[in-house]
Amino acid sequence: MASPLIEIANLKKAFGQNVVLKDISLQIERGQVVAMIGPSGSGKSTLLRCINLLSIPNAGRITVGEQTIEFDGARTTLPSERSLARFRASTGMVFQHFNLFPHMTALRNVMEGPVTVLKTPKAQAEAEARALLAKVGLLDRADYYPDKLSGGQKQRVAIARALAMKPTVMLFDEATSALDPELVGEVLNVIKGLAREGMTMILVTHEIGFAREVADQVIFMRDGVVAECGPPGVVIANPQQESTRAFLGRFKASSEAASSSNNVVTAVA
């Protein structure tokens, strides 16, 4: 069997006295879509941010594709800034609040990574950026500044911006939580399209229904540990643990209430 594309081994992260991740180990195969769910404060966003080193783990090992980076807990062996940057460039991150660069047009936002980091020639970067904007359905908004775009459009530009780096894996940190309910669908459709193309993705999400639909694997996190992990048919439909059942129970109740009034699956904060 081929080695997994992403491997996380014995990852630990603490903010001061507050231990957020306790010895996490995970393996993700190429082309898999993994949904991370769980109550807020369970460490799922921190885990995602550790995978692209926006949060520096205290201990453990992370492998993404060809690159492996190790942390032994001592400050002296912190990886160099350059190696951190190189590692991050191979992962695409999509944020809850989009974080588009407001002083650049949608097109320039998408070109920025390739031009500045990969030193791609401008003409080539522009052609690729236009293709990506077309892919997320926003080619006609190429010359708009972010403040002239809706939330859903901003997030689709942000997805195109992350894709422009040709990442090994795409990470979504509650990508639809800040959107108005009627705009959630357009973003989820883009993510669904990426899943069909075989993009490896990790989604931190509150959209249980969506997780069930697109994920190959669901990870339920609680108190800094992976409480349950498996295909959605098991973790969501037939959870083994009491805490998972309790968490999902609340969701089922609220999403049923919501779907009785309209057929949009609402995100619950």
Partner 1 sequence: MDSVESSSEPKSRSQLGTALLIVLALAGAWAALKHFSGGALGGGAGSYDWDFGVLWKYRSLLVSGLLYTLLFTVICVVLGLFVGLVTGLGRLSSNPLITAPLRAYIEVFRCTPVLVQLVWFYYALPVLTGLEMSAVVAATLCLSLYGGAFYSEIVRGGIISIDAGQTEAAKALGMTRLQLLRRVILPQAFKKMVPPLMNQSIMQLKNTSLLSVLAVPDLLYQGQVIAHDTYRPLELYTFIAIAYFAVLLPITIWAKRMEFGSGPKEV
Asked whether position 99 contacts partner 1 by CB under 8 A, the answer is yes
How far is 38 from 145, CA to CA, in rounded Å?
35
Among 8, 50, 93, 195, binds partner 1 (CB under 8 A): 93
Q: Which of 74, 44, 79 is nearest to 59 (CA)?
A: 74
- Residues numbered 198-227 forming contacts with partner 1, rule: CB under 8 A: none
Kindly tell me the burial class for residue 61, based on how many C-beta atoms sit within 10 Å of its own C-beta (0-12, 13-18, 19 or more).
middle
Q: CB-wise, 81 or 197, nearer to partner 1?
A: 81
Q: CB-wise, 93 or 215, nearer to partner 1?
A: 93
Q: CB-wise, 48 or 138, nearer to partner 1?
A: 48
Among 26, 100, 132, 219, binds partner 1 (CB under 8 A): 100
Query: Contact region for partner 1 (CB under 8 A) — 17-25, 100-108, 195-203, 214-222?
Result: 100-108
How far is 28 from 244, CA to CA, in rounded Å?
21
Among 17, 76, 102, 269, binds partner 1 (CB under 8 A): 102
At its nearest, how many Å lie between partner 1 and the CB of residue 165? 6
Query: Contact region for partner 1 (CB under 8 A) — 16-24, 96-104, 136-144, 203-211?
Result: 96-104
* x-marked contacts with partner 1 along 53-92 as a string, rule CB under 8 A: -x--------------------------xx--xx-xxxxx
Those residues whose C-beta lies under 8 Å from the C-beta of residue 123, and which sit 6 or more positions away, are none
What are φ and ψ of residue 101, in 5° steps?
Answer: -80, 115
At its nearest, how many Å lie between partner 1 and the CB of residue 140? 22
How far is 172 from 33, CA to CA, in rounded Å?
11
- Tell me the site size for partner 1, rule CB under 8 A: 28
Asked whether position 147 contacts partner 1 by CB under 8 A, the answer is yes
At its nearest, how many Å lie between partner 1 and the CB of residue 216? 24
- Residues numbered 167-186 forming contacts with partner 1, rule: CB under 8 A: none
Asked whether position 101 contacts partner 1 by CB under 8 A, the answer is yes
Query: Contact region for partner 1 (CB under 8 A) — 3-11, 25-33, 93-101, 259-267?
Result: 93-101
Owner of token pair 């236009």: 130
Residues that bind partner 1 (CB under 8 A): 52, 54, 81-82, 85-86, 88-93, 95, 97, 99-103, 112-113, 116-117, 147, 158, 161-162, 165
